[in-house]
Amino acid sequence: MTTYPLRRLRLRLGDEHRETVSISLQPFELGGECYLPVPAQAEATFEVQRAVSGDVFRLVFESRLHGPCMRCLQDAVADVRVDAREYHETGDGAPADMRSEYVVDGELQLSQWARDSIATALPTQIVCRRDCAGLCMVCGKDLNNEPHTHEETVSDPRWAALEALRDE
């Protein structure tokens, strides 16, 4: 896990510190499937600005996740661009909601912040291609390779009472 020691910063009010950091990225589990960031290390631009009552952090990087398509389970790739900001009030009496959860014992947890930022930047579905047809709901075949339909549809017996109402 990558951390950044905030104690070494010697910033005055209005000062800014910027540097390139290498962050180790952790795999994601979405819907029971594993998505791996490739490469596992991301080069990120990290900025800190000293404000009147705290610090403003910014993290900018790009990543690519590899894993199964959410429709057909073939290989899929999702490119993600992250531009995350976080505020941490440094005063002794600062309320908890003004303190960053990523600052622990004077260190900024960059890997955790990067992982959470990737999660919020992900598309709603990770698919192999935009027009992915998915899997057949009846037989489970990949509809991208074998587009087909089934002649008869077997209704679920749990819906039989509702089917009878449709005929009335």
Closest residue by Cα to residue 61 from 40, 45, 85: 45
The residue whose two tokens read 């020691």 is 5
Query: What are the Cα distances from residue 162, in Å, to 99, 127, 158?
Result: 54, 35, 9
Between CA 13 and CA 58 the distance in angstroms is 17
What does each of the 168 residues of the chain score in pLDDT, given as a tens digit? 899 998 888 888 888 999 999 999 999 888 888 999 999 999 999 999 998 889 999 999 999 999 999 999 999 999 999 999 999 998 777 788 888 999 999 899 999 999 999 999 999 999 999 999 999 988 899 999 999 888 776 677 787 778 778 767
Between CA 39 and CA 26 the distance in angstroms is 10
pLDDT in tens, 120-150: 999 999 999 999 999 998 889 999 999 988 8
